[in-house]
Structure formats: C-alpha cells, structure tokens
Amino acid sequence: MSVIDDVFEKLRVAGRKAFIAFVPAGDPDLKFTEELLQGLSAVGVTLCELGLPYSDPIADGPVIQAAYTRTLARGVRVHEIFELLQRVTPRLACPVVLMTSYAIVFRRGLEMFVQECARKGVAGLVVPDLPVEESRPLADVCGQFDLSLIQLVTPTTPPDRALRIAAESSGFLYYVSVTGITGERDQLPPELAEKVAWLRKHTDLPICVGFGISRPEQVAALAGVADGVIVGSALVRRIAQAESLGPQSALEDTLQFVRSLLAALPHQPVARRI
C-alpha cells in the first residue's frame, strides 16, 4: 500500500472523512509555506496539497493564479521548493501531494522528477493537464517509487472516460465539483451528490471533491457523499492577507478557518461498493 492508500484505509476503519488543504508554494514566501504546512498538520488536516507555481493557468481561478504570479515574480524556483519539502515533510503528521503542470515534470524528466519527489517525502502527484490517455508512462514511474498519481474527473467527463480515469488513478480520485475554474462558490451544483454516487458504484478508490468549497455547511454536506473534501481558493485568499495584515496574522486566520471547516466533518462512514 502507498502512503495515501494507508491514510484512507485508516479513515475508512475509523469512519472518518479526509480534509485536504491546498497551499500554493512560496506565497508570500517559502518560510510562510513551511510554517503553514506545519500548522495545518498540527490542526489535523489529512493531506496537504502543495501547488508548484506555474505561469499558465490550468484550471486555476484568479485567486490561486495571483498567488502563483506573486511567487514567480519573487524568483522562487522548483529546486527551492524541493529543499523546503526535505526540511518540512519529516515534521508533518500528514502526507504531502504536489499539484503541478506536466510541463514541469516533463522538462525535468519523469523518472528524475518522481525520484526527487520520493526523496523529499512527497506521497503523490496531481497533474491536471495530463490527459488520461497519456498518463501511463508517469503512472508507471510513480508506481516504481510508491507515489500515487491522483487524476481528475469533472462534471462534463463522459461516463466511459470517467471509468478509464478511475481505473488509471491511484491514491484517491479527485472529483471536480463544478464546471470551470477554481474559486469559492456560494452554492454547489444540486446534481453533485448524484454524480459522485454514480462514480462510487464503479470504483473502490476514495473520492474526494474539490473546487468551490469554502463553508462549513458545504463541507458537512459533501462529507455525506464523498470520502473527503479539498479546499483551496478560500485558504489562498486568506494567505494573501499576509501582504496587508502581516504573515503571523494571515497564518493564524488561515488556521482558524481550517479549524472551522474541520469541525464540520462528521465521523460516520460512507457506504462503499460491494
């Protein structure tokens, strides 16, 4: 079992749900990212998803893309983020997965990139711009180093393709709740529960829902149909306050917000396919 497989098995046995926090690496600086990862681990998040800054939006809304733009403007590079991971992952109680563009992986070389991830304590990869039809080479390399390759299903993914994505994924399946880009939403689609329920009938992988989640009531509702929730833009917006409020205030506000979302997670198990 991979690290992520083990995490979700323990959650299943305990009847608990996953909370995954997205953090953009290097915003406002790498020191803040390091302190935030440790803080998120301490308050009890299940996984941290660390975003590698990239100049061209993949599915990122304005909040996350602005964070990446600030980081790139400061000159933060991938090797510095790997150095950060080497320092911080041994001190975390939760695994870290990287969200990255395939261009970054390809440029460094698949085996070299994945091997570096493994050495620095990374447990998995999310590569949103890698089509499932072209994912097998990276999946094979990830398998050699016990990393999960987490793939995405969207509301517009045809059923047959969704099944192929589920079959090619490992760790968990990332279900995108809305059509479009990342960002906070007042309401999530009413058909979301039905779509997740359909997918659950066809895969034993844990299903975690992301995009648009920003409120305790949304977390509570999604936990009834999914194995976990992923929160990104709502955290990144609070992180951005570091420029106006100062790093410490932004850190405390972000962690307090996460605590409020964690408190909304129920502890009953989700029914699984037999």
Of 75, 88, 93, nearest to 32 (Cα)? 88
**Domains: count for the chain:** 1
Query: What is the side-by-side order of every strand in the sheet holding 18-24?
Result: 148-150, 122-126, 96-99, 47-51, 18-24, 228-231, 207-210, 173-176, 152-153
Question: Is 60 tagged catalytic?
Answer: yes
Compute the distance between CA of residue 241 and CA of residue 173 in angstroms, rounded to an integer: 31
Q: Which helix (H) or strand (E) holds 153?
A: strand 152-153
Does a structural domain hold residue 222?
Answer: yes
Does a structural domain hold residue 272?
Answer: no
Compute the distance between CA of residue 165 and CA of residue 184 in angstroms, rounded to an integer: 26
Instruction: Check 5, 60, 116, 184 and give the catalytic one.
Output: 60
Does a structural domain hold residue 274?
Answer: no
pLDDT in tens, 135-186: 999 999 999 999 999 999 998 899 999 999 999 999 999 999 765 444 444 5
Does a structural domain hold residue 268?
Answer: no
Q: For the full predicted model, state whether its pTM sits above 0.85.
A: yes
Of 119, 120, 122, 116, nearest to 99 (Cα)? 122
Contacts of 31 (CB under 8 A, 6+ apart): 247
43 with 3: CB under 8 angstroms? Answer: no
The domain that holds 134 is classified in CATH as 3.20.20.70
Instruction: Check 5, 27, 49, 227 and give the catalytic one.
Output: 49
Does a structural domain hold residue 273?
Answer: no
Question: Is 227 tagged catalytic?
Answer: no
Give the structural domain span for 30.
3-262
One-character DSSP codes across 53-84: P-SS-SS--HHHHHHHHHHHHTT--HHHHHHH
Calculated CA dihedral for residues 152, 153, 158, 164, nearest 10 degrees? 60
Does a structural domain hold residue 271?
Answer: no
- Residue 28, preceding bond cis, omega within 30 degrees? yes
pLDDT in tens, 88-128: 999 999 999 999 999 999 999 999 999 999 999 999 999 99
Does a structural domain hold residue 135?
Answer: yes
Residue 192 has a pLDDT of 84
Residue 273 has a pLDDT of 37
Does a structural domain hold residue 270?
Answer: no
Compute the distance between CA of residue 82 and CA of residue 224 in angstroms, rounded to an integer: 36
The tokens describing 161, both together, are 């393709």
